[in-house]
Amino acid sequence: MFLSFYGEPLFALLYTGFFERTVAEYCDLLGILMASTTDEAKFNVEEAKVLVTETIENNLGGVVYNPTKIKSLTNGVVEKIVTQLTRLNKPFKYIVTCLIMQKSGAGLNSASSCYWDDSSDGVCNVRWDNKTLYCMVSVYGLAI
């Protein structure tokens, strides 16, 4: 005979509905928890777009293209975006790429491919420019 933690026969607890109530209560609690996290379960592209655009404008707004400064500018933009994204305390890992190039009439093609969960992961692409440069930032949000 199998005994429960309460020392009663297991079939007696099943018969009284103890486990049924416990499982139902657990499912209700799990449903409440899932409903409260549903909003955070999907990468918010619009929120990321606003954050990225503001960061670019604050860091590159009055900058004139100078090839000797581009490395530090690019690193600075990426680091600030990652810092601001992590401050949101969302359950995501982030990948941020930044490309800064001089406005010279040259063309640029870029592509990326991802295998991910469409219900939670996402990408935000921002293209920004001023009189002397282009800046393209991609932020990938991958649910943890």
Q: pLDDT of 43-96, one tens digit each?
A: 999 999 999 999 999 999 999 999 999 999 999 999 999 999 999 999 999 999
Q: Which two tokens stand for residue 14?
A: 């099943």
The whole-model pTM stands at 0.72
State which fold the 38-143 domain adopts.
Ribosomal protein S3 C-terminal domain (3.30.1140)
**How far apart, in whole angstroms, are the C-alpha atoms of residue 49 and residue 137?**
10
The mean-pLDDT minimum among 44-48, 110-114, 127-131 falls in: 110-114
Three-state DSSP class for residue 115 = coil
The confidence score (pLDDT) of residue 36 equals 46
Q: Would you kindly state where each structural domain of the chain is located, as residue ranges?
A: 38-143
Residue 35 in this model has a pLDDT that exceeds 50: no
